[in-house]
Amino acid sequence: MLETGMKAPQFTLADAKGNKVSLEDFAGKKVVLYFYPKDNTPGCTRQACAFAAAFDAFSAKNAAIVGVSRDSAASHAKFAEKYSLPFILLSDPDLEAIKAYGVWQEKKLYGKTSMGVARTTFIIDEEGVITHIMPKVKPDTNAAEVLALL
């Protein structure tokens, strides 16, 4: 179980263009690493658009925004283009980072239990240390809450 003060688990995943992106690529910057269930769903779209709307404010605080889901790079490319998302979306179909960060969890919907990505945001400092873990975030307020913490 990850806790604040721990070194953030390293990963290398493909972005929307198929380029490999690693957590260590952001050394010297704060990283807002948010895990979300699926591209183009109502909550995930609102959350992504809120981060996009605040992108300049995050940049001013030397913070990179990185979204991660199981969706393919092609799905991310369409999602980012459709909503003009200015930040990186990473594809994790093999659950490499999703499991490393402990966000692959049992979920209940309409009485059915299944495994899925729990909407969770991590704030990682310039040295790669987790400073905040925000479980079960609300899509509409997550970006503002993170910005307030930075």
CA distance 44 to 142: 11
Catalytic residue among 13, 16, 44, 143: 44
- Whether 49 is catalytic is no
How far CA 90 is from CA of 5, 58, 98, 107, 145, in Å, comes to 24, 18, 11, 22, 22
Burial class (CB in 10 A: 0-12, 13-18, 19+), 108: exposed
CA distance 96 to 91: 10
Residues in CB range of 148: below 8 A, 6 or more apart: none
Element (H, E) at 132: strand 130-135
Kindly list the catalytic residues. 44
